[in-house]
Amino acid sequence: MNWCIASHEMQYVILHSAVLAKNDKAIVFPAPPGSGKSTLTAYLAFNGWRLLSDEMALILPYSKRVQPFVRPICLKNQSINLAKKWFPDGVFSTIASDTHKGDVIHLSPPLNSWLGAEQQAEIVGIVFPQYVPQVELDIYSLNQTQAFMQLAQNAFNFGVIGREGFETLTTIIEQVPVFDIQYNDLVAVEDFLTNEVLSRVAS
């Protein structure tokens, strides 16, 4: 399904990214495999955030609006036991063992995410996450050049839609803060997102 969306839904600018929102204010989390993105996604989704996507940000061209693409969250290896401990009432698939990514399981997001599957949100921040076991939380603010280059690297169809993609990403980075974070403490990450990123919108 991911391949179908990335290959054919050219009405969107598509980033390899998680997207979560509070009060329809969305934060985009672009990241490559192995960054801990899905573990962070699951934690936030079960702690008051609405999941729009664990895999793809579908951004409406020339805007900061993002369309939900709600699917179960894909968790791998050590994240499986963590999620089962954190969310004992969660709905999990059976484990697919020994895949090319190791052990894989899918976790259904909470009901509010499914109910909001048609409800767009506005991007108010971009955070590039990287799980680092030795680091509680380090935060780096990116300038527009750094932000654009990293977003372009995580865009599935940037080279196909051309100017539309370029101007959409430019519009976003000119209007929202962009951060690179390294972390091992999910509580600290959520505190940063709530009090530093979302609070800018409220103020």
Mean pLDDT for 111-131 is 96
Per-residue confidence at 157, pLDDT binned at 50, 70, 90? confident
pLDDT given at position 72? 95
In this predicted structure, the answer to whether residue 8 has a pLDDT above a threshold of 80 is: no
DSSP-derived 3-state class of residue 93: coil
| pTM for the full predicted model | 0.89
Q: Are 156 and 16 in contact (CB under 8 A)?
A: yes
In this predicted structure, the answer to whether residue 32 has a pLDDT above a threshold of 70 is: yes
